[in-house]
């Protein structure tokens, strides 16, 4: 009957008559439901709409006398509503049944225990795992006492409690029970009974969570083989076994195998169950998740739009499954860089969950955590922080401080603190996360290793590269052992360690690892997979550190081409690729090409992200630096001031990015010879970095070096000398004698000595710098001069070397143009009066210093969001 006819009928009746008729309909409908399994899904789906319509009137009826037909109706419909995804309404009926049976039949009556077991299942659906556990322990104890340990109902109670233990993260307890269940079913029902096979499947899932991956895979294959033989290839349980094995393959990083199985599952479900059956929709969801892992986001999006459409039509817009589908599609939008679309969907999900299941429901808290991740991607870090604090508070209350879900949100909040420049808070949280995971999961658990990786990332941001390196080596070693060399997580650990090596100036080690990463990802995922492209981006950054700008350019052009084709011109990652290539053009001295690209990047980010987005401001900052190199200092000054004002307003005065913007404006003032303004800003920068990051942080030391350069340019050579000696001492201690930054500090101090006419001291430092550079891995042997015999030649080499370090050997001519210096002629000139030559070189030293301060106007290399490193999840 059409719902409108129902509504019309109810509206035409008097209240008492309406109640009586609805109750009669309620009881009559219950007669159509059988307690045993096997009724068609379509029938149950049609029935549930009538049941829900009648519930308003029928549930208010008091059944204190225990009228059997009412009790039977409530019990049947409670189970029906639970299975059809309406746990809130199921709970209302099941509590009625349990209370009535407790009062009339007694606590230990089999029917009371059955009612308790049903309510426990509904509580599990509502994610009230602690309440579920209490009820299921009660059910198990009573059944053991009344029915005996080997009764099928006792064994089922044991199996149910094991599932709840799994949901609570108590996988060891779950495993113990599941082994008992499997042994009992093997003995009583036989190896090939469907319930025995189901027990094997449950144990396989627990084995996976306990990181017994080989056992999990073996058990799943056993289940599939048995189901094929006993039930047949096209039986729903066989298809379900196939889906479970696919899920295990996905968890093991065997995405291609997972994809093959899931396509079979979807095809079979479509044929046997029909396009709109929940299991068919579930198969679609599984395949979409694998597509996401394979970086096939467009295919995932297509499937998830279908799923959402089907769920909305069949189950209704506010059904649990529909809301889940909405969440999955939002996650795919996030991967496609469609953050605004993701935000819209996630706000909708959160709003519906708040209304229907309440603020404290785990699904509502999860929706909150997911929206926070999208806010992170949109650069709305303050909004992300608020939601994550709420989510963390919620999980702490509901699941406890040590539950994996609580720890996961803690990790996400730490990464938001990291983005907000609250590195100390981030570090505290991540140490807490690591400590809890060490205690609860064990040192070798993947969750613990993941937490270790996140802490390593924060150490990098804090400039504690040695600590980051130690943890990174541990993470890589553990993943190699547990997951194997070719697992995606192992390859990711390799990529992260390479990034740490790059920060430590160990470019050769970084290069070696990154070539491995790129090779593995190309082989396993394919050349155009997002992770392969990301590996290309990282290797390009290392090539840049090694001064291999031609190789960098080739890789970055490849990255830009692939991203243009696969994800489109306006995707954030494509724009990042453009920004990276612009930086390489900058390093090659191709400032006009850099300027063109940077203007494109800035325009795109203004349009897509808005003027206040961190990436837009960064694009402005990069363009300002290029203007500086083109000698367009006034344009650079304008942009630098805009960047500083925006960061002051959005991030606050003490945020690391605000302080960086201040340093950049100071460098521009220096180029404009506004030394007083430059000095004032650089003193502020040095003071702020000393307070926030500590005296020995690399950025604090860089601030000291910048202030020294300004002091030297303004003729305050004594102050410059003091600062440069501090810089050299700190870099020697922290980075080591052979680090490029330490060598740079040697050269700067030498220049200051020379401008003070301390030629002996200058020569000693220059010789040291020269030897260290030639000793460095991959350094070219000196061609023209084998030893430095006099001050003048040392200075000349330094001038030439400044150019080759920044722009590469192939662009040395560009450097000479900037310095306005006929270098080869001076080297060849042996007749020039020594005093005159010394005077000329002193002037040259000042020009080299100015040139170096200009090119030290730092760029931010663009990074793709790495969810694994940040510890985010959906």
Please give the pLDDT value at position 541: 92
Please give the pLDDT value at position 791: 39
Nearest residue to 796 (alpha-carbon basis) of 775, 781, 815: 815
Longest Cα separation, the chain: 121
pLDDT tens digits, one per residue of 505-547:
899 999 999 999 999 999 888 888 888 999 999 999 999 888 8
Q: Which residues contact 472 (CB under 8 A, 6 or more apart)?
A: 453, 456, 493, 496, 497, 500
pLDDT tens digits, one per residue of 749-776:
999 999 898 999 999 999 999 988 887 6
Q: Which residues contact 376 (CB under 8 A, 6 or more apart)?
A: 384, 415, 416, 419, 872
Helical axes 129-147 vs 152-167, angle rounded to 10° = 160
Lowest mean pLDDT among 37-41, 664-668, 696-700, 854-858: 854-858
Nearest residue to 168 (alpha-carbon basis) of 216, 196, 198, 136: 136
Helices (H) and strands (E) in the chain, counts: 42, 0
Cα–Cα separations (whole angstroms), residue 671 to 359, 549, 715, 817:
56, 25, 15, 17
Is 0.75 topped by the overall pTM?
A: no
Highest mean pLDDT: which range of 582-586, 678-682, 842-846: 678-682
Lowest mean pLDDT among 85-89, 168-172, 381-385, 868-872: 868-872
Q: Which residues contact 122 (CB under 8 A, 6 or more apart)?
A: 78, 82, 87, 90, 91, 94
Please give the pLDDT value at position 520: 92
Confidence of residue 38 (pLDDT cuts 50, 70, 90): low
Q: Which residues contact 442 (CB under 8 A, 6 or more apart)?
A: 448
Tell me what the pLDDT averaged over the chain comes to.
81
* Rounded distance between C-alpha atoms, residue 491 and residue 479, angstroms: 9
pLDDT tens digits, one per residue of 807-863:
333 333 333 333 333 333 333 333 334 333 343 334 444 444 444 333 333 333 333
pLDDT tens digits, one per residue of 348-372:
999 999 988 888 888 899 999 999 9
In the three-class reduction of DSSP (H, G, I as helix; E, B as strand; rest coil), residue 166 is classed as: helix
Please give the pLDDT value at position 594: 94
Nearest residue to 484 (alpha-carbon basis) of 232, 217, 742, 665: 217
Confidence of residue 456 (pLDDT cuts 50, 70, 90): confident
pLDDT for residue 446 is more than 60: yes
Mean pLDDT of 16-29: 71
| CA angle, 871 then 261 then 45, to 5° | 85
Q: Which two tokens stand for residue 153?
A: 């109902």
* Rounded distance between C-alpha atoms, residue 333 and residue 342, angstroms: 5
* Rounded distance between C-alpha atoms, residue 474 and residue 486, angstroms: 17
* Rounded distance between C-alpha atoms, residue 460 and residue 503, angstroms: 8
Higher pLDDT, 252 or 826: 252
406, 396 Cβ separation under 8 angstroms = yes
pLDDT for residue 67 is more than 60: no
Please give the pLDDT value at position 389: 95
Please give the pLDDT value at position 707: 95
Cα–chain center distance at 4? 48
């Amino acid at each position: 009957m059409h719902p409108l006819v129902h509504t019309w009928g109810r509206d035409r009746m008097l209240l008492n008559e309406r109640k009586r008729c609805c109750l009669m309909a309620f009881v009559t409908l219950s007669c159509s439901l059988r307690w045993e399994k096997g009724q068609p899904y379509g029938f149950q789906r049609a029935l549930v709409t009538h049941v829900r319509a009648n519930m308003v009137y029928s549930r208010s009826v008091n059944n204190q006398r225990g009228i059997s037909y009412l009790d039977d109706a409530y019990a049947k419909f409670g189970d029906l509503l639970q299975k059809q995804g309406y746990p809130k309404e199921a709970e209302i009926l099941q509590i009625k049944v349990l209370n009535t049976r407790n009062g009339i039949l007694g606590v230990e009556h089999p029917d009371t225990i059955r009612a308790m077991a049903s309510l426990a299942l509904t509580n599990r659906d509502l994610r009230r795992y602690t309440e579920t556990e209490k009820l299921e322990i009660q059910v198990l104890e009573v059944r053991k006492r009344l029915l005996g340990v080997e009764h099928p109902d006792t064994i089922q109670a044991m199996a149910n409690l094991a599932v709840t233990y799994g949901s609570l993260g108590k996988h060891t307890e779950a495993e113990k029970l599941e082994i008992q269940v499997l042994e009992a079913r093997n003995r009583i029902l036989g190896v090939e009974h469907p319930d025995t096979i189901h027990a094997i499947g449950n144990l396989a899932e627990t084995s996976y969570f306990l990181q017994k991956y080989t056992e999990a895979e073996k058990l799943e294959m056993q289940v599939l083989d048995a189901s094929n033989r006993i039930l047949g290839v096209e039986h729903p349980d066989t298809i379900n076994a196939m889906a479970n094995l696919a899920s295990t393959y996905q968890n093991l990083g065997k995405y291609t195998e997972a994809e093959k199985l899931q396509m079979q599952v979807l095809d079979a479900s479509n044929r046997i169950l029909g396009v709109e059956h929940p299991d068919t929709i579930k198969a679609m969801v599984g395949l979409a998740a694998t597509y996401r892992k394979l970086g096939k986001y467009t295919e995932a999006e297509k499937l998830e739009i279908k799923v959402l459409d089907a769920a909305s039509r069949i189950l209704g817009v506010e059904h649990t499954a529909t809301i889940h589908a909405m969440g999955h599609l939002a996650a795919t939008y996030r991967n496609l860089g469609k953050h605004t679309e993701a935000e819209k969907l996630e706000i909708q999900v959160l709003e519906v969950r708040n209304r229907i299941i309440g603020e404290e429901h785990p699904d509502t808290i999860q929706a909150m955590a997911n929206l926070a991740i999208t806010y992170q991607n949109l650069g709305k870090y303050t909004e992300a922080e608020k939601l994550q604090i709420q989510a963390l508070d919620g999980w702490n209350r509901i699941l406890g401080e040590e539950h994996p879900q609580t720890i996961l949100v803690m990790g996400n909040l730490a990464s938001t603190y990291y983005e907000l420049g609250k590195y100390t808070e981030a570090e505290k949280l991540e140490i807490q996360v690591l400590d809890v995971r060490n205690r609860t999961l064990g040192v070798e658990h993947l969750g613990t290793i993941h937490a270790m990786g996140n802490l390593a990332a924060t150490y990098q941001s804090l400039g504690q590269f040695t600590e980051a390196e130690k943890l990174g080596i541990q993470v890589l070693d553990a993943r190699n052992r547990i997951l194997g060399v070719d697992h995606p997580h192992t390859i990711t650990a390799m990529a992260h360690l390479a990034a740490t090596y790059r920060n430590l100036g160990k470019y050769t080690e970084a290069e070696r690892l990154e070539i491995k990463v790129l090779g593995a990802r190309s082989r396993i995922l394919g050349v155009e997979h997002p992770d392969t492209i990301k590996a290309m981006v990282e290797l390009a950054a290392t090539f840049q550190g090694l001064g291999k700008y031609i190789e960098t350019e080739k890789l970055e052009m490849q990255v830009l081409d692939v991203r243009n084709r696969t994800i489109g011109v306006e995707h954030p990652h494509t724009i990042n690729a453009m920004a990276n290539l612009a930086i390489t053009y900058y390093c090659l001295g191709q400032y006009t090409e850099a300027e063109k690209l940077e203007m494109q990047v800035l325009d795109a980010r203004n349009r897509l992200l808005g003027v206040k987005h961190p990436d837009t401001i960064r694009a402005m900052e990069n363009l300002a630096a290029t203007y500086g190199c083109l000698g367009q200092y006034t344009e650079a000054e304008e942009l630098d001031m805009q960047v500083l004002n925006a960061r002051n307003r959005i991030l606050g005065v003490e945020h690391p990015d605000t302080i960086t913007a201040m340093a950049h404006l100071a460098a521009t003032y220096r180029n404009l010879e506004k030394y007083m303004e430059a000095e004032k800003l650089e003193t502020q920068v040095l003071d702020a970095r000393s307070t926030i990051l500590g005296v020995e942080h690399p950025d604090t030391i860089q601030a000291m070096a910048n202030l020294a350069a300004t002091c030297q340019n303004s003729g305050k050579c004594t102050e410059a000398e003091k600062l440069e000696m501090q810089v050299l001492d700190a870099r020697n201690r922290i980075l080591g004698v052979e680090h490029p930054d330490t060598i740079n500090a040697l050269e700067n101090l030498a220049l200051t000595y020379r401008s003070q006419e301390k030629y002996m001291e200058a020569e000693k430092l220059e010789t040291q710098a020269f030897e260290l550079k030639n000793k460095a891995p991959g350094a070219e042997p000196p061609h023209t001069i084998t030893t430095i015999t006099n001050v003048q030649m040392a200075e000349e080499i330094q001038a030439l070397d400044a150019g080759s370090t920044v722009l590469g050997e192939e662009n040395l001519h560009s450097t000479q143009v900037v310095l306005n210096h006929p270098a080869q002629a001076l080297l060849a000139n042996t007749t020039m009066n020594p005093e005159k030559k010394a005077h000329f070189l002193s002037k040259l030293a000042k020009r080299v210093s100015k040139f170096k301060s200009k090119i030290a106007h730092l760029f931010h290399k663009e990074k793709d969001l790495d969810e694994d490193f940040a510890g985010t999840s959906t």
